[in-house]
């Protein structure tokens, strides 16, 4: 075996060329599998590549060819399993397409998002997949990424107006229909007094889900009492704290609730306890997202599956398509969500 020297300079095309008495250009052709080069030369070069332990310098190649082999993935909260799954899906698809993923995590801060985008863009990604921070604004994002790099937005809309020349693609979830399905399911279970619980109405996703809920209620000819809308931070703890609001006042108490998402639903189930009700027995609950925990809670949670890993793959596909054809009209995909019925959405007792 050759002396795989543990230390030394990096090997370049020149080293290989010199090593087997051929020109740099020829070696380059061999590397890229060109049919131009003679069988025996190719063998000789390949042997030398192996022997010297050559590793391709893609950055140099990209510079020369004015291409890119990377895509930036900017996630508002990587620690959230929903987004981690999404990221895994993105990376999987990009990887098989020969792209490498530049990761950026913003901790849901628009300021940090701006810095992260600014840093990533300098590495010349071919495109960007962005799941915006809660308070992210179109104008600032555009300033950071410029107009040369295609963007796929995931999950959230940006605040403010985006100039019409920046035609970015979007991948959103079908919030409206999902919430409608959940509501229809509860109605089919016999419930008539159904609340919409959690989230803040200034967020686009919350508004969409609430709208779906209202549609289903109206379609069924059911009236909605004002105290059946309880807002909360989309976290488990705040949801648990806010549960009591459903049962205050003189109006009729609801027997079921469509929740903004799974975290809120799990929190509500916890909070119901303190108000003498038990989710899945005398109060029905639905969530949104189908996080891993949803299937494991007690009772298990009826929710809307969003298949985050598949969404990741899809977002990557959208970006790859855009790179293939930069002129194609930009589009928005609303990914369907699927109702998963479990124990928490019990019939009206």
Partner DNA sequence: AGGCGAAATTAGAACGATTCAAATCTATTA
Partner DNA sequence: TAATAGATTTGAATCGTTCTAATTTCGCCT
Could you tell me how many residues of this chain bind a copy of itself (CB under 8 A)? 61
Among 13, 73, 110, 129, binds DNA (CB under 7 A): 13
What residues contact residue 250 under an 8 Å CB cut-off, 6+ apart?
A: none
**Alpha carbon 32 to chain centroid distance?**
34
Among 1, 2, 3, 6, binds a copy of itself (CB under 8 A): 6
Could you tell me how many residues of this chain bind DNA (CB under 7 A)? 28
| Structure tokens given for 303 | 């929710």
The one of DNA, a copy of itself, none whose footprint includes residue 309, by CB under 5 to 8 A per kind, is a copy of itself
The answer to whether 324 contacts DNA (rule: CB under 7 A) is no
Among 156, 191, 210, 236, binds a copy of itself (CB under 8 A): 236
> How large is the C-alpha radius of gyration of the chain?
27
Whether omega before 17 lies within 30 degrees of 0, making that bond cis, reads no
Strands (E), the chain: 70-75, 100-105, 127-130, 151-154, 169-173, 194-197, 229-230, 256-259, 284-286, 303-305, 332-335, 338-340
The one of a copy of itself, DNA, none whose footprint includes residue 79, by CB under 5 to 8 A per kind, is a copy of itself
> Least separation, in Å, of the C-beta of 114 and DNA?
20
Q: According to CB under 8 A, which residues from 279 to 318 bind a copy of itself?
A: 292-293, 295-298, 309
Q: How far apart are CA 266 and CA 160, in angstroms?
A: 33
| Structure tokens given for 120 | 């990533």
The answer to whether 218 contacts DNA (rule: CB under 7 A) is no
- Scanning 37-45, 83-91, 226-234, 248-256 for contacts with a copy of itself by CB under 8 A, the matching segment is 83-91
Q: How far apart are CA 224 and CA 227, in angstroms?
A: 9
Residue whose token pair is 């005398």:
282
The answer to whether 165 contacts a copy of itself (rule: CB under 8 A) is yes
- Scanning 4-12, 217-225, 226-234, 253-261 for contacts with a copy of itself by CB under 8 A, the matching segment is 4-12
| Structure tokens given for 57 | 């310098």
Helices (H) and strands (E) in the chain, counts: 12, 12
Q: Are 58 and 68 in contact (CB under 8 A)?
A: no
- Scanning 121-129, 153-161, 185-193, 315-323 for contacts with a copy of itself by CB under 8 A, the matching segment is 121-129
Q: Are 127 and 318 in contact (CB under 8 A)?
A: no
Q: According to CB under 7 A, which residues from 18 to 57 bind DNA?
A: 21-26, 28-29, 31-32, 35-39, 41, 56-57
Cα dihedral 209, 214, 217, 222 sign: positive
> Least separation, in Å, of the C-beta of 19 and DNA?
12
- Residues in the site for DNA, rule: CB under 7 A? 10, 12-14, 21-26, 28-29, 31-32, 35-39, 41, 56-57, 60-61, 63-66
- Residues in the site for a copy of itself, rule: CB under 8 A? 4-7, 10, 53, 55-60, 62-63, 66, 69-70, 73, 78-81, 84-85, 87-88, 91-92, 95, 98, 100-105, 107, 116, 119-124, 146-148, 163, 165-166, 236, 266, 269-270, 292-293, 295-298, 309
């Amino acid at each position: 075996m050759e002396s795989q020297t543990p230390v030394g300079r990096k090997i370049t095309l020149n080293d290989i060329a010199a090593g087997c008495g051929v020109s740099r250009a020829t070696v380059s052709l061999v590397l890229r599998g060109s049919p131009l080069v003679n069988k025996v030369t190719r063998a000789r070069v390949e042997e030398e590549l192996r022997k010297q332990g050559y590793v391709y310098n893609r950055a140099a190649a990209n510079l020369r060819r004015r291409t890119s082999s990377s895509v930036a993935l900017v996630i508002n909260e990587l620690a959230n399993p929903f987004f981690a799954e999404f990221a895994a899906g993105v990376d999987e698809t990009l990887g098989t397409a020969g792209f490498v993923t530049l990761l950026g995590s913003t901790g849901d801060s628009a300021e940090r998002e701006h810095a992260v985008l600014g840093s990533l863009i300098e590495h010349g990604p071919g495109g960007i997949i962005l799941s915006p921070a809660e308070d992210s604004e179109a104008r600032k994002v555009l300033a950071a990424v410029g107009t040369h790099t295609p963007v796929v937005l995931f999950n959230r809309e940006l605040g403010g107006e985006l100039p019409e020349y920046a035609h970015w693609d979007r991948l959103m979830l079908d919030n409206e229909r999902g919430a409608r399905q959940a509501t229809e399911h509860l109605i089919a279970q016999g419930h008539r007094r159904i609340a919409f619980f959690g989230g803040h109405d200034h967020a686009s996703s919350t508004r969409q889900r609430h709208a779906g809920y209202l549609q289903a209620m109206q379609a069924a000819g059911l009236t909605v009492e004002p105290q059946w809308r309880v807002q909360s931070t989309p976290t488990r703890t705040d949801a648990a704290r806010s549960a009591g609001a459903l049962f205050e006042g003189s109006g009729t108490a609801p027997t079921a609730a469509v929740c903004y998402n799974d975290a809120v639903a799990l929190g509500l189930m916890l909070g119901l306890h303190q108000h003498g009700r038990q989710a899945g027995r005398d109060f029905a609950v639905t969530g949104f997202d189908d996080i891993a925990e949803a299937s494991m809670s007690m009772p298990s949670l009826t929710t809307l599956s969003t298949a985050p890993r598949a969404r990741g793959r899809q977002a990557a596909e959208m970006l790859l398509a855009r790179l293939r054809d930069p002129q194609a009209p930009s589009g928005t995909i609303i990914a369907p969500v699927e109702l998963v019925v479990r124990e928490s959405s019990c019939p009206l007792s």
